C-alpha cells in the first residue's frame, strides 16, 4: 500500500507514525514543510519519498504535491494526525479521489457549533451552544442561557483561546479579547459543571477496535490557568467497569453520526449533576504524547496498531490493561529560566520503578507560560497496576517535586 503522510517530522512524535506505517510494509511518502536535508537518518529510511511544500495547510500547494505523487504511483491513503492539518487533508482527498476522512466529517469534527448541532439533532446530550458572529449574538445567548458561559474559537484545540465568562462585564471584555467585536466568530456554550475526561479510539470502518479512557485532574480550564497546580491526565486500566459503559456507548454513537470511518479519534466528555455530556471530538490522535502513555500502560505499540488499521484494515495486539498510567505536568515557580529542581531524589528513591519517562529541562532553559500546555515545561509519565495507588503517587510527586526558576 502507498500512503502519503502529511508533515512526518513535526512535532517530534510524528516520526512514530512514519515508523509504524513503514513497519507494516507500506510505502510512505512524506509531504512536509522542512527541507529534505533536515530529515533524520531514521526518517530517510522509513520514507519512500519526500516532498517539501511551503505549507501543509495551503490546500493548493498540498493538492499540487499529492497530484504529483499520483502521477508517479497509485496512492491508497492520505493521512494527517495533527488537528490543524485535518481539513486541508480532507479537501485534497476529495479533490483526488483518495479514501479517508471526508470533508463533511472533518468539518463537523473541527467546527464546534456545527458539531454540537449535528449531535443534538441525533439525540446526543451536549451543552447548549451556538456560533456567535456578532457581539449581539453573544449577548442574546447569554440572556437566554445564563452564566457561566464558555467562549472559544470555533475550530480551536485544547484550552487555547478559551474563556470562562461569569457576568455581563466579563462578556464585554471577552468580546474584545476574543476578536468577536472585530468580526471574528466564536463558539459560545453553557458551562457544564462536572468531572472532565476523554476517550480515545482506533476505529476501522466506523467500528471501535481499540479504546482508552483518561481522566483530567483538575479540569483543563482550571489546570491551564493556575501555576500552583501540577495537573494530571490519568488513564484507567478499569475500562470494563460498569461506570464507563455510558461514555463508551456515547463514543460509538458520535462516531456513527459523524460518519468517522477508519481513523483515530479523541473525544472529550463531562460528567456531573446534569449527567454525561459530550464536549467535542477530533478525528485524529490526542496530543501531548498520550499514545506513549497508552503504550506504557498496555505494553504494546499503538502507533503500529493505527498503521495496521490504515494499511491492513485490522488491528493485531490487544492492550494488556496491566497498568494504569498517567502524566503529571511540573510547573516552574515563576517565569524566567529554570535554575534547578528539588524533591527529585526523594521521588526517585520511592517510585523510580514506576516512572516510565521524565522530561526535566536543563538549568538555564527558558520557562514557558502555564497556558502553553501540559508538556510546556517539566513532566513525568508514571504507571502502576492499581489506579488508586497511581493517583496517590502522582499527588505525592506534585507535592514533592519543585521546579525552580529565576
Grid-cell match 490557568, residue found: 225
Query: Hey, where are the domains in the chain?
Result: 2-100, 128-190, 195-405
Residues found in the chain = 406
- Listed as ranges, residues in the chain with pLDDT below 70 are 156-160
CATH number, domain 128-190: 3.30.1490.20
Which residues lie closer than 8 Å to 300 by C-beta, 6 or more apart? 317, 318, 319, 320
Q: Determine the pLDDT at residue 182.
A: 87
Class in CATH terms, 195-405 = alpha beta
CATH number, domain 2-100: 3.40.50.20
Would the pTM of this model clear 0.95, i.e. be above it? no
Which residues lie closer than 8 Å to 292 by C-beta, 6 or more apart? 13, 357, 381
Closest CA to 39 of 21, 2, 14, 61: 14
For strands 129-132 and 324-330, give the pairing.
unpaired
- CA dihedral sign, ordered 13, 15, 18, 23: negative
- At residue 79, φ and ψ (nearest 5 deg) are -120, 135
Q: What is the pLDDT of residues 198-232, one digit of tens each?
A: 999 999 999 999 999 999 999 998 998 889 999 99
Q: Determine the pLDDT at residue 156.
A: 66
Q: Determine the pLDDT at residue 154.
A: 85
Amino acid at each position: 500500500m502507498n500512503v502519503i503522510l502529511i508533515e512526518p517530522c513535526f512535532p517530534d512524535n510524528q516520526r512514530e507514525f512514519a515508523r509504524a506505517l513503514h513497519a507494516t510494509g507500506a510505502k510512505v511518502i512524506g509531504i512536509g514543510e522542512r527541507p529534505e536535508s533536515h530529515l533524520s537518518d531514521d526518517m530517510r529510511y522509513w520514507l519512500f519519498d519526500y516532498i517539501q511544500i511551503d505549507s501543509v495547510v495551503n490546500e493548493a500547494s498540498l493538492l499540487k504535491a499529492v497530484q504529483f505523487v499520483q502521477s508517479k504511483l497509485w496512492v491508497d491513503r492520505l493521512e494527517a494526525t495533527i488537528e490543524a492539518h485535518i481539513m486541508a487533508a480532507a479537501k485534497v482527498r476529495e479533490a483526488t479521489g483518495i479514501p479517508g476522512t471526508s470533508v463533511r466529517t472533518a468539518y463537523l469534527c473541527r467546527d464546534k457549533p456545527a458539531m454540537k448541532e449535528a449531535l443534538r439533532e441525533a439525540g446526543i446530550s451536549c451543552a447548549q451552544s451556538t456560533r456567535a458572529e456578532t457581539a449581539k449574538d453573544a449577548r442574546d445567548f447569554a440572556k437566554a442561557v445564563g452564566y457561566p458561559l464558555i467562549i472559544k474559537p470555533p475550530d480551536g484545540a485544547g484550552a487555547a483561546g478559551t474563556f470562562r465568562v461569569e457576568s455581563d462585564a466579563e462578556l464585554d471584555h471577552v468580546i474584545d479579547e476574543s476578536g468577536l467585536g472585530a468580526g471574528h466568530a466564536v463558539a459560545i456554550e453553557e458551562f457544564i459543571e462536572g468531572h472532565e475526561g476523554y476517550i480515545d479510539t482506533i476505529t476501522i470502518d466506523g467500528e471501535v477496535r481499540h479504546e482508552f479512557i483518561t481522566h483530567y485532574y483538575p479540569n483543563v480550564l482550571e489546570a491551564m490557568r493556575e501555576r500552583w497546580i501540577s495537573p494530571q491526565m490519568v488513564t484507567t486500566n478499569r475500562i470494563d467497569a460498569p461506570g464507563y459503559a455510558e461514555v463508551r456507548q456515547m463514543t460509538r454513537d458520535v462516531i456513527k453520526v459523524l460518519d468517522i470511518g477508519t481513523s483515530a479519534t479523541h473525544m472529550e466528555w463531562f460528567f456531573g449533576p446534569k449527567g454525561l455530556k459530550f464536549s467535542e471530538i477530533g478525528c485524529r490522535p490526542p496530543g501531548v504524547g498520550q499514545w506513549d502513555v497508552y503504550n506504557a500502560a498496555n505494553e504494546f505499540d499503538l502507533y503500529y496498531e493505527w498503521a495496521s488499521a490504515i494499511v491492513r484494515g485490522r488491528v493485531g495486539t490487544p492492550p494488556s490493561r496491566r497498568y494504569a498510567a498517567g502524566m503529571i505536568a511540573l510547573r516552574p515557580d515563576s517565569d524566567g529560566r529554570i535554575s534547578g529542581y528539588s524533591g527529585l531524589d526523594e521521588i526517585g528513591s520511592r517510585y523510580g520503578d514506576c516512572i516510565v519517562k521524565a522530561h526535566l529541562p536543563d538549568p538555564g532553559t527558558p520557562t514557558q507560560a502555564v497556558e502553553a500546555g501540559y508538556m510546556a515545561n517539566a513532566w513525568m509519565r508514571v504507571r502502576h497496576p492499581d489506579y488508586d495507588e497511581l493517583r496517590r503517587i502522582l499527588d505525592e510527586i506534585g507535592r514533592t517535586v519543585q521546579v525552580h526558576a529565576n
